Amino acid sequence: MTRVAEGSSAAQTAGVAIVGGGPAGLAAAEVLAAGGHQVHVFDAMPSFGRKVLLAGKTGLNLTHSEPYETFVSRYGAAASHLCKALDAFTPQDVIAWADELGSECFTGSSGRVFPRAMKASPLMRAWLGRLSNLGVQFHTRHRWTGFSDGKLRFETSGGEIFVSFDACLLALGGASWSRMGSDGAWTAILGSAGVEIAPLRPANCGFDVAWSESFRDRFAGAPLKSVTATSAAGSVPGEFVISRHGIEGSLVYAHSAALRDALEHQGSAALVLDLAPGRTETRIAGDLSRLPAKVSFSNRLRKAAGIEGVKGGLLRELVPDISSQPPQKIAGFIKALRLPVARPRPIAEAISSAGGIRWDEIDDGYMLKALPGIFVAGEMIDWEAPTGGYLLTACLATGRAAGEGIAARLTAARAEARSSASRAP
């Protein structure tokens, strides 16, 4: 059995080294430790699961209750690659796992599944406790900086250390929420080792919009409620927020991949808004026509379409001469207002990231073909998904799949060692 470099703060045996203490890494640790393997988990931060804890401050969305076939389709082009891992750890399995940890779940009106406590901290405490009881060893403030003579190299408060291993899982996340530890620095390390990586891009993100100064000063922070937004991703009802830079919020995130891809491939993109989903264009045009000419434009919008405040401001911002337009034209803008976006917000602000290690770089057990014995899981791999529990479910599922892959490799290696020993003269 190999050992952590002598004199390090983690001077213990390290059969399986897991780098990254988020959901993917911890899920793999659970599978391996339950199977009797010795596991050490290393993380650059002072504690584990920090992104999960931050996400859970307003309600930890574990998974989604929609039909499984629909659920899997949310992963787009990556669904065919992820399906094996998701089949082995379905949304129902996620719920059962959380229940076992004392976090009973409920399904909200949107179909999203949450722990009844809503917060992530009770679940994380119970999970880390279970892993500790299984013998998992945890090492904080260990920042992975690469490989050296077949060992893992870490920077610690006590200096640089080197860790040898029988197998290693990298579960370092993408490049969103970098202050929580996932800064994407691993791309340079693995890229130099010959691993092909799709560029990391923001996902579930806000977008910059070229607001006028007057609109920004008046409406920044205002929620735009009860609208339907349309892009190549389809038509989705909901709400979003006007920010000083542009737009953000759940409805924007639902369209973020489509908007981002359109900007990349076509050079422009727009979200098309229906500001009055409950009224037809014909009805709005008729109601506008029946109002006396002396009625102010603001009152015409309010009486004919229920539009006021930020919605009215947005109409004027995007169609400066709208008040002089005929009723049919005004109604058309209300029902299909184009909101051009300039660029995604920086990846560090995004909820998640797209891109990562290409699927043909890993085998069926989540091992890197270019680096035998090194496995990967979670957001390091080239997939993305909308918010709604899909991100966490896939991180858990790929972590568990990688754990199974590591266990199979170690079992095969031990069998080969026994076979070789029996053949020795």
Task: Judge whether residue 9 has pLDDT over 60.
Answer: no
The burial of 173, by beta-carbon neighbours within 10 Å (0-12 exposed, 13-18 middle, 19 or more buried), is given as buried
Other Cβ atoms closer than 10 A to 210:
10
pLDDT confidence of residue 8? 43
pLDDT confidence of residue 28? 98
The answer to whether 254 and 386 are in contact (CB under 8 A) is yes
pLDDT confidence of residue 44? 94
The pLDDT tens digits for 358-403 are 999 999 999 999 999 999 999 999 999 999 999 999 999 999 999 9
* Distance of alpha carbon 313 from alpha carbon 50, whole angstroms: 39
> HEC profile for 95-142?
HHHHHHCCCCEEECCCCEEEECCCCCHHHHHHHHHHHHHCCCEEECCC
pLDDT confidence of residue 2? 37
Domains and CATH numbers, the chain: 16-202+352-423 (3.50.50.60), 207-344 (no CATH)
Task: Judge whether residue 11 has pLDDT over 80.
Answer: no
The pLDDT tens digits for 288-310 are 999 998 999 999 999 999 999 99
Q: What is the mean pLDDT of the chain?
A: 93
Crossing angle of the two packed helices 390-423 and 91-100, in degrees rounded to 10 = 80
Task: Judge whether residue 14 has pLDDT over 90.
Answer: no
Closest by alpha carbon to 379, among 363, 365, 364, 396? 396
The pLDDT tens digits for 84-110 are 999 999 999 999 999 999 999 999 999
Closest by alpha carbon to 171, among 396, 419, 409, 354? 396
pLDDT confidence of residue 419? 77
CA distance between the termini of the chain: 24
| 3-class secondary-structure state, position 159 | strand
> What's the whole-number mean pLDDT along residues 130-156?
95
* Distance of alpha carbon 325 from alpha carbon 336, whole angstroms: 15
Q: Where do the H-state alpha helices sit in 240-360?
A: 250-266, 281-290, 297-305, 310-318, 327-335
CA 268, 201, 147: angle at the middle one, nearest 5? 155
Q: What percent of the chain has pLDDT over 90?
A: 87
Diameter over CA atoms, the chain: 106
* Distance of alpha carbon 39 from alpha carbon 42, whole angstroms: 10
pLDDT confidence of residue 221? 97
Please provide the DSSP assignment of 10-59 as one string.
Answer: T-SB-SEEEE--SHHHHHHHHHHHHTT--EEEE-SSSSS-HHHHHHGGG-
> What's the whole-number mean pLDDT along residues 57-86?
94
Please provide the DSSP assignment of 247-279 as one string.
Answer: EESHHHHHHHHHHHHHHHHHS-EEEEEES-TTS
